[in-house]
Structure 1
């Protein structure tokens, strides 16, 4: 489910880790867009080679032109967290928090313990590292940081408050998401002053990262909500096969790939149109989308395929061809459009959205079940784009989507993702210079 971005056929070969699969599959969250200036080519390619693929030791370099965890080959596990700043922390307190988080994230992504580790010399002191990831290695852990609009402009924009002295650095494109049709958002599981996306091969590594960053934030920011995810619902590298969502359909067949330099520069990376601190960054939209699994499971195969616009087993468009065949929206079958005019694939496709594209990086989730035996399950949708308006354009196109009968958008958030972090710097340092 999701934006039908134009990409290039991926090839199988990326290993799928299975350790601790049960924990990931039961991802119980505290925590919904679609389901289903530009730098040089050399700069983007170098960033992918040095900061996004990972080594044989499972380490994805933390420093680089762009933050890791965007075009990094999507890992199978997620722990996403949103934080709110505590009152009266101020500018210097925020800077110190970002410094401390950056230092810890560099260690965590290298598979190293935080601070003095899990066993301090003085046993009367609490350990700097909680220790539950000892022996698990780096697990291709990536930690991606984002800043919420409320850091720049308080919820009541008429007050003129500017507690962190950064209001004048607010990018013009960083506008709040509007209300969309069928939104049923829970405010306690939406938004946040800061966000942290931790992705890894092992769920315990991702949880360990968020747990330790939460401890470090104590007294300055508190964890507002979080979400565990399992089973990536998109590919971000041609080396990965196409995954399936909980409706059983292949998801993200034509996602923007890490190798698609032109698409990345045009649609994902922020360029000279924004303040310097955002250049090389992107905008992250997260939407928690609950699926009415039991209702979907009673729909016929033909109806499911009509709703999505693709075949369930092969993933090819109903206009004909293989999974990676471009949909032909003019094709007819029996005098009617082969792909329904309200099918998800048609409405989400760039051809019907002014050509805009996004990079999708979502995950399945299961938050247990209710007293009726219905699963609290769905898609924790994550996408990256050069401007939030991209997401708004696609989401508005989906208003008549046949899929809307089977999904509920229950949480939402938007964050600015600063450019990459260089050695000796902290995340978003240029924002405060």
Structure 2
């Protein structure tokens, strides 16, 4: 069982990256998927120079001290809060609707922090027990996303002689934009032999929900791979995200066991045009060409499973690919700037394609330099991941940076936790195969992998995935 270390919660500033799988093929490689710039993930740090939660606490302390001398301290705090709001800093009171046509946490503007968890169902669990677990998870998630405890009474309102219903570490904290997204792994549908179909779901297995093929750079660790169920909790406060996974894991006791989990900080893609482009741990902007929620036609085409697709119960949902990509940070940090930019195909500062223009200028892969060589090498990440090299394939990435301490050799255990949502897993597969020639592969190792079918939205009174059981 993977227990990811709590390193990210207070590393508040990493907010830039490239995209890796899907959207447009730019600087983020991550060995994973393909968008325009996606080496690592999706992350969204405090945007636009906004003030972080920890910094705000410091400001309040400074304001209180100033108040003892005069009123200027309070004015300073008010000014700082106004500036933070104007700069687009996350609103801690923001709460996203849990119920709707699609699950939140997919096209939702990417939050600052992630806690992702994959579970294995216990051997004793039967169909009714699975439905009960999903119902309990749904009821708790609907409350948590609104800034409430998992149930009435919560952490301190129950009996003194029983464990509290809520673990309590989020008491007094607002919703902080929390979204909770659920997914189903292939193990939920049995092994295909009929004998292991203990939930009676084999006939309803999505035909596309198959293990991913082996890719260039794969060095997968079984303990970081797979899972029958998954939960993605994203929030602008790390404690809120951790609290959600902790309590949902607790609810699952005796029915499902945590297989592995991952904390993430600093989104590595933007999922809304209102968000600034973040950076990954290679220092490049990540997510420039990602599918944005405002591109409704693109989202419908590339992200959501249509009613005409199979199976019908998955309509309005998506397929989630999760990849833990270890970045060989120490080797990368010794590469000359010019070579780094050639490998990515973009400038490290502005994020513009090497063919010229600004960050959002479309790359010109035919442009040549004085010697007649392409300005963007055919093996650059941008070129290989771009939709023009992959039959128009795009996907929506929501990855995050991670730093889980260091390994036995003293190297940072760091990289990109890549998450992509797509209408078909083939979109990810096509782009990832294209990236086999990517020069960034020398600096990447894919150590964890999983794929999940993400059901459509949840109506009031329903539980997640209810259509699967009807």
TM-score, with length taken from structure 1: 0.88
* Structure-to-structure mapping, 1:210-359, within 5 angstroms: 210-271=245-306, 272-333=308-369, 334-359=371-396
* Structure 1 partner of 2:85: none
Structure 1 residues 381 and 400: alpha-carbon distance in aligned structure 2, compared to 1, 3 A threshold: same
Is 1:376 the counterpart of 2:394? The answer is no
Is 1:365 the counterpart of 2:402? The answer is yes
Tell me how far 1:58 sits from its aligned partner: 1.1
Q: Any conservation in 1 of the 2:22–2:428 contact (CA below 8 Å)?
A: no
Structure-2 separation of matches of 1:291 and 1:152? 34
Larger Rg: 2
Deviations 1:176-214 (A, max 9, x none): 211112210001111100000000001000000000000
Deviations 1:341-366 (A, max 9, x none): 11100000000001010000000000
Structure 1 residues 401 and 409: alpha-carbon distance in aligned structure 2, compared to 1, 3 A threshold: same
Structure-1 separation of matches of 2:51 and 2:323? 25
2:237 to 196, 199, 202: 202
Q: Any conservation in 1 of the 2:92–2:177 contact (CA below 8 Å)?
A: no
Q: Any conservation in 1 of the 2:22–2:420 contact (CA below 8 Å)?
A: no
Tell me how far 1:171 sits from its aligned partner: 1.6
Structure-1 separation of matches of 2:436 and 2:270? 25
Q: Any conservation in 2 of the 1:3–1:252 contact (CA below 8 Å)?
A: no
1:19 to 43, 48, 53: 53
Structure 1 residues 55 and 393: alpha-carbon distance in aligned structure 2, compared to 1, 3 A threshold: same
Structure 1 residues 313 and 349: alpha-carbon distance in aligned structure 2, compared to 1, 3 A threshold: same
Structure-1 separation of matches of 2:422 and 2:54? 32
Structure 1 residues 197 and 15: alpha-carbon distance in aligned structure 2, compared to 1, 3 A threshold: farther
* Structure-to-structure mapping, 1:75-224, within 5 angstroms: 75-115=111-151, 116-154=153-191, 157-158=192-193, 160-224=195-259
* Structure 1 partner of 2:434: 397
Structure-1 separation of matches of 2:324 and 2:93? 33
Mark the runs of 5 or more structure 1 residues left unpaired by the alignment.
22-53
2:449 to 387, 397, 412: 412
How many residue pairs were aligned?
Answer: 396
Structure 1 residues 233 and 207: alpha-carbon distance in aligned structure 2, compared to 1, 3 A threshold: same
SS of 1:337's equivalent? Answer: coil
Tell me how far 1:122 sits from its aligned partner: 1.6
Structure-1 separation of matches of 2:419 and 2:52? 22
Structure-2 separation of matches of 1:178 and 1:13? 36
Q: Any conservation in 2 of the 1:307–1:402 contact (CA below 8 Å)?
A: yes
Structure-2 separation of matches of 1:201 and 1:56? 7
Structure-2 separation of matches of 1:16 and 1:209? 25
Deviations 1:404-424 (A, max 9, x none): 000100000000000000111
Structure 1 residues 18 and 117: alpha-carbon distance in aligned structure 2, compared to 1, 3 A threshold: same
Tell me how far 1:4 sits from its aligned partner: 5.8
Structure-1 separation of matches of 2:194 and 2:309? 28
Name which of structure 1's ranges 158-167 and 251-260 shifts more when overlaid on structure 2: 158-167
Structure-1 separation of matches of 2:332 and 2:260? 28
Structure-1 separation of matches of 2:460 and 2:169? 27
1:74 to 95, 107, 110: 110
Mark the runs of 5 or more structure 2 residues left unpaired by the alignment.
1-17, 25-34, 37-45, 56-89
Tell me how far 1:276 sits from its aligned partner: 2.7
Q: Any conservation in 2 of the 1:82–1:193 contact (CA below 8 Å)?
A: yes
Tell me how far 1:371 sits from its aligned partner: 4.0
Name which of structure 1's ranges 106-115 and 172-181 shifts more when overlaid on structure 2: 172-181
Considering only aligned residues, what root-mean-square deviation do their CA atoms show, in Å? 1.8
Q: Any conservation in 2 of the 1:14–1:239 contact (CA below 8 Å)?
A: no
Structure 1 residues 121 and 180: alpha-carbon distance in aligned structure 2, compared to 1, 3 A threshold: closer
Name which of structure 1's ranges 363-372 and 406-415 shifts more when overlaid on structure 2: 363-372
Regions of 4+ moved over 4 Å = 12-17
Tell me how far 1:161 sits from its aligned partner: 2.2
TM-score, with length taken from structure 2: 0.82
SS of 1:332's equivalent? Answer: coil
Q: Any conservation in 2 of the 1:198–1:206 contact (CA below 8 Å)?
A: yes
Structure-1 separation of matches of 2:135 and 2:318? 21
